[in-house]
Amino acid sequence: MQDTIDVELVNINKSFGELKAVENVSFQVPRGSFFSILGPSGCGKTTTLKIIAGFEEPDTGDVFIDGERVNGIPPNHRRVNMVFQQLALFPLMTVTDNVAFGLRMARVPKRDRRKRVETILNKVGLSGLGDRKPSQLSGGQQQRVAIARCLVLDPTVLLLDEPLGALDLKLREQMKIQLKLLQHQVGTTFIYITHDQSEALVMSDQIAVMNNGRILQIGPPDELYSHPVDGFVASFVGENNAIPGIVSSINDHSVKVKFNGFEINSPVLPNIRVGSEIINYIRPEKMQLLSIDDQSSTLENRIPGIIQDVIFDGAVIRALVDLESGNRVMVLITRTTDVPQPVSGEKVFVAWTTRDVYCFPN
Ligand SMILES: Nc1ncnc2c1ncn2[C@@H]1O[C@H](COP(=O)(O)OP(=O)(O)O)[C@@H](O)[C@H]1O
Ligand SMILES: [Mg+2]
């Protein structure tokens, strides 16, 4: 059985003068899912969201909400609501009145209103705080008021435009998890946009990675992480070490890649030739530090370098290593007691297996 699709974009294009803000964007958002659009600032995320909400009309392409084509239908007649980065709560109104505002506009009777507001405040974990003003709440609580105010209208889809952007780091970390739990609990479809890959990885069922107005890849977080389709996705989603080089020979299962007097092995790419310029990507956790006199390791690739810095982060350690080839890489080590800790200034080998490399044309 096919999932019900709540939102579908088909070949959406939108230009502002010469600038193509959104180019040939298509995707489907299944009912009840947490769908993120992830990309750097200016890549077209907000424009895409506004096209779904009806605040912008596409130049070409179709928008479907709940199976109905909504091109030309004004925002207040689409069953979507948008939470903006600036929460725009009414400062002089209580939490209850803020949340009830949309219901009042829709002329929902007072008794109904009170009941619905109470239910939703409960769901977002704000029961008992209805009489406060926004200024008497923490940043995270204000965030939840803004979300409650939309959810109370019972939209098919909630659109969230970088809603955690204004919060400090610690609160953002907490809210990431709370938002995901909240979405799961209420079951409303969320379309969430962010430039922060860690937010998208933690919260999403599906992520669409966007750059320069185009969607490069759509998939669940673990798929984007382990099977990026190009160098942009490989370096934008999660951390990665990039090592550019030139293909010097091609075998059945691997190619040799030369760079700055060193040679490593990489997987075979389609259409690759001797002389092709490629970039190799190796995740920090797939690299290992070996002592300089190590003879036992069977890893196919190793390059000598000097540890520049060691960063402790509780359970893991990050070592920044300057390779003799001129590349700087980060190696992630899970802390265990039986292995000596890396030390700044130490000479080491950085090693990895060819299987853990993705490479793309440069
Ligand atoms: N109303 C507008 N008029 C002209 N240019 C715009 C308008 N809205 C957005 N843009 C431009 O379109 C591009 C995409 O913007 P936007 O969708 O806001 O990106 P994002 O949300 O990913 O940061 C940017 O270059 C931005 O300057
Ligand atoms: Mg934006």
pLDDT in tens, the chain (362 residues): 457 999 999 999 999 999 999 999 999 999 999 999 999 999 999 999 999 999 999 999 999 999 999 999 999 899 998 887 666 789 899 999 999 998 998 899 999 999 999 999 998 889 899 999 999 998 888 888 999 999 999 899 999 999 887 778 888 888 888 889 889 988 999 999 999 999 999 999 999 999 999 999 999 999 999 999 999 999 999 999 999 999 999 988 899 999 999 999 999 888 889 999 999 999 999 999 999 998 888 899 999 999 999 998 888 999 999 999 999 999 999 877 666 788 999 999 999 999 999 999 98
Tokens encoding 340: 């000596």
**Cβ-count burial of 318 within 10 angstroms (0-12 exposed, 13-18 middle, 19+ buried)?**
middle
pTM exceeding 0.85: yes
Cα–Cα distance list, 273 to 244, 359, 361 (Å): 15, 13, 11
Q: Which ligand is nearest to the CA of 162?
A: 2
- Whose tokens are 């409650």? That residue is 148
| 93 Cα to the center of ligand 2, angstroms | 28
Asked whether the CA dihedral 148, 150, 151, 153 is positive or negative, the reply is positive
Q: Which ligand is nearest to the CA of 48?
A: 1
Closest atom of ligand 1 relative to the 47 alpha carbon: 17
Task: Say how far apart CA 331 and CA 324 lie, in whole Å.
Answer: 15
The residues near 285 (Cβ < 8 Å, ≥ 6 apart) are 332, 334
Closest atom of ligand 1 relative to the 193 alpha carbon: 21
- Whose tokens are 């925002």? That residue is 75
Q: Which ligand is nearest to the CA of 21?
A: 1
The residues near 252 (Cβ < 8 Å, ≥ 6 apart) are 268
The residues near 186 (Cβ < 8 Å, ≥ 6 apart) are 123, 151
> Does residue 327 sit in helix, strand or coil?
coil
Q: According to the model, what pLDDT value does residue 86 have?
A: 66
Tally of CB atoms within 10 A around 43 = 22
Closest residue to atom 7 of ligand 1, CA basis: 16
Closest residue to atom 20 of ligand 1, CA basis: 42
CATH level 3 topology of 5-236: Rossmann fold (3.40.50)
CATH level 3 topology of 241-361: OB fold (Dihydrolipoamide Acetyltransferase, E2P) (2.40.50)
Same topology, domains 5-236 and 241-361? Answer is no
| 106 Cα to the center of ligand 2, angstroms | 29
Give the start-to-end residue ranges of the domains of the chain: 5-236, 241-361
- Whose tokens are 């980065």? That residue is 85
| 254 Cα to the center of ligand 2, angstroms | 41
Residue positions counted in the chain: 362
Query: DSSP labels for 32-58?
Result: T-EEEEE--TTSSHHHHHHHHHTSS--
> Does residue 241 sit in helix, strand or coil?
strand
> Does residue 326 sit in helix, strand or coil?
coil
Contact 75, 90 (CB under 8 A): no
As for ligand 1, residues whose beta carbon falls within 6 Å of it are: 16, 19, 21, 39, 41-47
Task: Say how far apart CA 306 and CA 291 lie, in whole Å.
Answer: 11
Closest atom of ligand 1 relative to the 17 alpha carbon: 4
| 153 Cα to the center of ligand 1, angstroms | 28
Closest atom of ligand 1 relative to the 195 alpha carbon: 22
| 42 Cα to the center of ligand 2, angstroms | 7
Q: According to the model, what pLDDT value does residue 174 have?
A: 82
Closest residue to atom 24 of ligand 1, CA basis: 42
Amino acid in position 122: N
Helix (H) and strand (E) counts in the chain: 8, 20
